[in-house]
Amino acid sequence: MSEEKKRGFEKRLAAYAAAAAGVMAVAPAADAAIQYSGTQNLTVNSSNSTVLVDLNNDGTNDFSFTYSSDVYGSPGMIIRTLNGSFIGNSSANLDAANLSSGYSIRSNLSSPYGWWTGYEPLAGSGSITDGSFNYDGAQGYIGVRFTSATCNNGSYHYGWIQWRTDTRATQGTIIDWAYEDQCDTAILAGAGALQQQVSVPSLNEWGMLALISLLAGGGMLAMRRRQEA
């Protein structure tokens, strides 16, 4: 094969790869079951009377947060239910349980946890077992469930909300949240946030990658055959 023909062939091969990559760029990503909010960092303090959280962005607020100067006699951050319920700790006045990463948020919970509708302090910023309040830098997950147009009449979306107490007795933060878009499906506390940081090709993208590989492999084979001829 002459050098000119070789350069022409390489240009065509590059064009094929670019076309396949273009298709991959516009191919729709596979829908994930866990819907993650991304970092929100919503400030909750005495100046901000109410912070509203709409987990699935459907126009219905699911939970609200306030920072009160008098929670059991001391300042604290409070969660209120608007369209769902949260996991409370029956051994701590049903305060919203401070869940660790990986806790399974589901319909049936193990004692002392249970589903609670109303308003309660957040364990770690409200009262907890040692009777202290508002640890600087305390952080955790609240297990939540809520209804939607597709999950109702006894069905729920399960999710989590991550929070942090920033400054003693004055301020907290709602960091982010996630939920399962499939009805009555458990979710692990923190799930969705880590996966968001790792980009994994969808099935369509794997197909495009395979196409590029086949085009490149076939092109190289054809080039060798022409050189041998």
Query: Which spans in the chain are helix H?
Result: 3-26, 193-196, 203-228
Report the distance separating Cα 201 and Cα 203, nearest Å. 7
pLDDT at 171 > cutoff 90: no
* Separation between Cα atoms, residue 153 and residue 148, nearest integer Å: 10
The answer, as to whether pTM is greater than 0.75, is no
153 pLDDT tier (thresholds 50, 70, 90):
very high
Q: Which helix (H) or strand (E) holds 140?
A: strand 139-146
The answer to whether 167 and 125 are in contact (CB under 8 A) is no
pLDDT at residue 120 in the model: 78
Query: What is d(CA 134, CA 124) in angstroms, rounded to the nearest whole number?
Result: 6
Give the mean pLDDT of 90-99: 84
Phi/psi of residue 27, nearest 5 degrees: -65, 135
| CB of 23 closer than 8 Å to CB of 45 | no
Q: Within 10 A of 94 (CB to CB), how many other CB atoms are there? A: 19
Q: What is the pLDDT of residue 187?
A: 97
